[in-house]
Amino acid sequence: MRSFDRKWVYTRRRGRLTDAQSRALKTLRDRFCISSVQAIDTTSIGVEIGFGMGTELLNWANAEPQQPLLGVELYEPGVGAVLARLQSDSIDNVTVIERPAQEVLAELEERTLREVRIFFPDPWPKKRHHKRRLIQPEFVQRLARAMADAAILRLATDWAPYASWIRQVFAAEPAFVTVHDSTRPADSDQSWPARGVTKFEARGEKLGHDIHDLVFRRTTRK
């Protein structure tokens, strides 16, 4: 386990909670949430970073009920919504952690993650805010350390400059190779079969944004 670099500073996005989300946070956190990844077996686990309202995380859990999954999120309404669904739908293969992704990756043992998904992270479009983007060289290095050989990383964004940024960052990191890179026009009625349409994706399409799907594979260590 590596120490956490304290230059990362975060603010929890609390948002406006519904009554159901608030109840779920109060009554279900102890059941489904952990404060440290050391509390679970992370061998060959799947992770979604920034799951938002949890649509794709829950779809993943239902599609692969035997696959242990970890959802990483700081947005309280999203966490509350997921906790409520985990109970109502009797989903037992998802654990939630409410901590920054950089901290979570720093705690993981090497070569533990089978798959990582990051769908529609905040693009921080203004140049002065680019340093706040999740996808940074150091972050990608942490992913490389935590992911198993041949593990898959799936990314999606509706912001073309961010897609270019992502391509540049990964092109400079030899631990990953690109296995899929597609751009779907906003007016297309097609969707990528590897996932459903997220809330942020639908909003981006309404704004006329093309959708960029990228998949990277962790290279095999010698």
HSE, CB side, 13 Å, CA atoms: give it for residue 43.
1
CA distance 31 to 11: 24
Helix axes 160-171, 137-146, angle to 10 degrees: 60
Radius of gyration of the chain (CA): 17
**Of 122, 149, 189, 213, which residue is the catalytic one?**
122
Based on the residue annotation, tell me whether 122 is a catalytic residue of this protein: yes
Task: Using the structure block, give the residue that is written with the tokens 């964004």.
Answer: 157
Pairing of strands 113-119, 94-97: unpaired
- How many degrees, rounded to 5, is the angle at CA 43 between CA 42 and CA 44? 110
Question: Contact 69/95 with Cβ under 8 angstroms?
Answer: yes
* Lookup: tokens for 80: 């509350």
Query: Which residue matches tokens 């998802």?
Result: 94
Residue with tokens 């996932």: 195
Q: Which of 218, 204, 29 is nearest to 122 (CA)?
A: 204
Compute CA distances 95 → 48, 79, 126, whole Å: 11, 11, 34
Active-site residue set: 122
